[in-house]
Amino acid sequence: MWVCNDYDPRGYDASIRLVQDSNLDGHLLDFNLVCGSQRFGDSSAFRAYAGNNYSYTFAVGSQGTCSVWLYDRTAGGSWSSPSVTR
């Protein structure tokens, strides 16, 4: 599994690919964008299945240095992407 953060003309793109044997198969996951002390949520949590790609564009314009956080709402836990500056 990789949590990615990339540029988008409207803001920042979050994405994840769950490998076929992922232990997150069927879990409820949630993207958030963290930019310093500001936090932006996505439209809602999503049920993820192994072998699939998921993405969300945070259309927030330029917010400086940001990272994407992925929260596991089923079992707890979180992962972050490297930061990007826009």
Query: 44-53: per-residue pLDDT in tens?
Result: 999 999 999 9
For the chain, the domain total comes to 1
* Structure confidence at residue 41 (pLDDT): 95
Average pLDDT, the chain: 91
Domain harbouring 6, CATH code: 2.60.40.10
Quote the tokens at residue 74. 């089923």
* Structure confidence at residue 22 (pLDDT): 82
Domain that holds residue 52: 2-85
* Structure confidence at residue 19 (pLDDT): 85
Quote the tokens at residue 53. 């790609």
The 10 Å Cβ neighbour count of residue 80 is 13
pLDDT score of 1 more than 60: no
20: exposed, middle or buried (Cβ count in 10 Å: 0-12, 13-18, 19+): exposed
